[in-house]
Amino acid sequence: MKLGKKEAIFLLCYISSIVMMYVFGDIYNKPRVLWLGCSVLTVAVYATIAIRPIFTRLDLIFRFVVIALFSVAAFVSNKPQMMMYAAFICTADLTNFRRIVITCFFTCVAMVVLVPIADLIGIVPKRVFHRGSVIAHSFGFGYYNVVPFTYFFLVLEFLYLKAIRNKKANWIELIIIFGLNYVLYKLSTLRLAFYLVCIILVLYIILIKFNMFKLKAKPLVIACSLTFPLLFFLSIWSNSAYNTSSPLFVKMNQLLSERLDLGHQALDMFSINLFGHYIQTIKTADTYFYVDSGFLFSLLGYGLLFTGMALYIYTYLCHYAAKNNKKMLFIWLSSVAVFSVINNTWISLYINPILLYFPILLKNKEQGNYNRFLSLLGYNKEL
């Protein structure tokens, strides 16, 4: 399919946003540059809407809600990328999800290959992180979790691209994926990303390689649809109920690298309201504070309305994946759900573009309804 002008603008802006987030977010901490860059890209992406007619009321309502809630979240949390993410969600239906995933995959691969090379030759600052008696390598990025977390999403994207071509990853490819995962674990010392990739591989082997069962059975559709709400409430409850007098909670807190303790502190410090709070990260020689749970950070930092919208979109996608037996899509979504209990990347569109699938599905649904209406009137021409 030929790449249209508006589609090319969208994908070019998306590539630029990924590079900008890596360079000025993950390598150099430059918040002012991020605000400027995100503002320019947001305007550029929204400009494509001006020449695109919008026919349905649902289109207008959806875009208004996304723009309003993401913009509020951007200014309350001081995260300009949220404003840019709204622009991408509102214009994602200018293209298709396959092209979005391909764009994200190859841009992220380029970054995690070129930045370590730049680190070796001294172009980017050298950074060393000591975790106990071992050194955690950051590969030129600002923190040692960037490459393992990116690899986690690259694995999902690679397997998804195979699935939509009706191909299965062979055993050699799966072994290579696991081998790279193990090497990154040894160099970065990050257990979380290592275990998550292992979970992806196990689910892939069960659901796709061996094709043990279909997802579209009604009980499974219901269970899959409840994945995000259940894990969300489990995450909030565990952080709220945490106390040092419970041996079980203490053990869980140790396994989760003190995340429950920090989450419990956050719930004491910030009230739950409609539009969220600015949550400042503190990292000094004596003090450390960071809300690592994506669900909890969203609830406290972005507010009830934003979190409700995100949960609805993810729940819709899970329901769609199960009902249509889209197994690789469900593996992607369920992996992000587990990840979001203990890390804040479920809204990070520059490495996790899954939210961009929702407006595309919405457009297809509306177009299908409109075509059925035309057929009732005696017209067979499709839009």
Q: What is the pLDDT of residues 310-368, one digit of tens each?
A: 999 999 999 999 999 999 999 999 999 999 998 888 999 999 999 999 999 988 775 55
**What gap in Å lies between CA 41 and CA 27, rounded to an integer?**
20
- What pLDDT was estimated at residue 107? 97
Q: CB under 8 Å to 338, separation ≥6 — which residues?
A: 196, 199, 231
Indicate the residue type of 375: S
Q: Give, as one character, the DSSP assignment of residue 8.
A: H
**DSSP-derived 3-state class of residue 7:** helix
Helix orientation angle between 191-204 and 171-188, rounded to the nearest 10 degrees: 170
Can you give the pTM of this predicted structure? 0.91
Q: Per the structure block, which two tokens stand in for 119?
A: 């680190």
pLDDT at 325: 93
Q: Which residues of the chain have pLDDT under 50?
A: 369-383
CA-based nearest residue to 56, from 64, 47, 48: 64
Alpha-carbon distance values, 75 to 71, 184, 302 (Å) = 7, 35, 10
pLDDT at 46: 87
3-state secondary structure at position 354:
helix
pLDDT score at 55: 56
Please state whether beta strands 288-289 and 282-283 pair in parallel, antiparallel, or not at all (unpaired). antiparallel
Residues 132-163, buried b or exposed e (16+ Cβ, 10 A)? eeeebbbbbbbebbbbbbbbbbbbbbbbbebb
CA–CA separation, 155 and 179 (whole Å) = 12
pLDDT at 382: 36
The pLDDT, as a whole number, for residue 244 is 85
Residue 339 contacts residue 309 (beta carbons within 8 Å): no
> What pLDDT score was predicted for residue 366?
57
DSSP annotation of 350: T
For helices 81-91 and 31-50, the axis angle rounded to 10 degrees is 20
CA dist 38 and 20 (Å) reads 9
